[in-house]
Amino acid sequence: MSDNNNETETLLSLFRTMVRIRAFEDAAEAASQGGVSAYGKSADGSARVRGPLHLSTGQEAVPAGVCAHLRPDDYLTSTHRGHGHTLAKGADLARMMCELFGKATGYNGGKGGSMHIADFSVGMLGANGVVAAGLPIAVGAAHAQKLQRREGITACFFGDGAINRGPFLEALNWARVYALPVLFVCEDNRWSATTPTGPLTAGGGASVRAGGLDIPSVQVDGNDVLAVHQAAAELVAQVRAGGGPRLLHAITYRVKGHVSVDLAAYRDPKELEAALQDDPIVRARAAWMARSGADAGALDAVEREAAEEVRRALAQADAAPWPDPQAAFTDIQTTGAGTWR
């Protein structure tokens, strides 16, 4: 099989991952707003998603390209914007939707919501609502892998806003000092909540700071899924070979507001318009057609499959039972319930 055929097959696989992420988040967004979409609406028009919903729309190429190189025994830590990472690592889409709906069949029994999904069975150690908190967790996991002489590595996703918080320096320093098997992945979407990151970040950003700690890094166009895939392949191979930590700095863009009900009126419309012209799924579609010489039929089929999978997940989440009220007293930390008295 030629290299071009291999690349075409890889692109189709990556495209499938990206459209599943997009379909999941589009449906979750509509469900969080109570509005009508291609996936329908609730009977009374109310929001079906419980709690905050942070979307990664426009960033799909990064988790797709990176996670394609991860194995089931590899670990992954995520952020508050972690649906894409979770799906790309192999978590169950329907069970994720149930969690967003607050149902008992969700990953956390409906008690964690979007920002706390974890699936240890596929190595997904958890999303995290605290900016930069996943960095030290990832380093701890990677240190455990090294001490136990496991073959797995840890992939740590974080945003550009996280590099201005202390855990970024602490985690990278620890990983470098102990030569840990961790791949740091900065999803540089250029926004920290409602504030542009650039004016608040000194120097050249994540990759330059990693270099200051003697951690090799690669900067890549985060909306070019093949470029992300190739860069991640090289870095993952180096980490697996015992080369110590590496950092992938992926420049992308967050096309939605900070949360699903944020209209992002603080953003220059021209900036958003330019970003929409660089959509990673549109780019992947064009790249596949150029390489394959085929029409878009196969890609359209992939998108239909993703849409149908999400419709089934929505129906399952709607039909799923609510948590038993007594579940509020499980999975919690106890301080002794007054027994110290």
Q: What is the pLDDT of residues 5-29, one digit of tens each?
A: 899 999 999 999 999 999 999 999 9
What is the Rg, in whole angstroms, of the alpha carbon atoms belonging to the chain?
Answer: 20
Cα 51 from Cα 16, distance rounded (Å):
28
- Cβ neighbours for 52, distance < 8 A, ≥ 6 positions apart: 80, 113, 114, 115, 259, 260
DSSP-assigned letters across all residues of 38-72: TT---TTS---S-S-----TT-THHHHHHHTT--T
Q: What pTM, to 2 d.p., does this model score?
A: 0.94
pLDDT tens for 158-180 read 999 999 999 999 999 999 999 99
pLDDT tens for 112-161 read 999 999 999 999 999 999 999 999 999 999 999 999 999 999 999 999 99
Mean pLDDT over 207-216 rounds to 97
Cα 182 from Cα 153, distance rounded (Å):
6
pLDDT tens for 177-196 read 999 999 999 999 999 999 99
Token pair of 152, please?
């797995």
Is residue 332's pLDDT more than 50? Answer: yes
Look at residues 208, 204, 127, 200 and name the one whose alpha carbon lies nearest to residue 165.
200
Q: Buried b / exposed e across 112-131, counting CB within 10 Å, b at 16+?
A: bbbbbbbbeebbbbbbbbeb
Cα 83 from Cα 311, distance rounded (Å):
17
Cα 70 from Cα 49, distance rounded (Å):
30
Is residue 109's pLDDT more than 50? Answer: yes
Cα 1 from Cα 6, distance rounded (Å):
7
Which regions of the chain does DSSP assign to beta strands (E)?
75-77, 154-159, 182-188, 191-192, 195-196, 217-221, 246-251
CATH topology for the 3-322 domain: Rossmann fold (3.40.50)
Going from N- to C-terminal start, the domains of the chain cover 3-322
The total number of residues shown for the chain amounts to 341
Angle between helices 3-33 and 280-292 (to 10 degrees): 150
Q: Decide: 310 and 101 in contact? Cβ < 8 Å.
A: no
* Secondary structure class of 170 (helix, strand, coil): helix
Question: Which 8-state DSSP code applies to residue 164?
Answer: G
Q: Buried b / exposed e across 38-65, counting CB within 10 Å, b at 16+?
A: ebebeeeeebbbbbbbbbbbbbbbbbbb
Burial (CB < 10 A; 0-12, 13-18, 19+), residue 108, is middle
Q: Decide: 251 and 189 in contact? Cβ < 8 Å.
A: no
What is the sign of the dihedral through the CA atoms of 63, 65, 66 and 72? Answer: positive
pLDDT of residue 33: 86
Q: Decide: 189 and 58 in contact? Cβ < 8 Å.
A: yes
Mean pLDDT over 214-234 rounds to 98
If pLDDT is split at 50, 70 and 90, which confidence band does 337 have?
A: low
Q: How many CA atoms lie within 13 A of 176 on its CB side?
A: 18
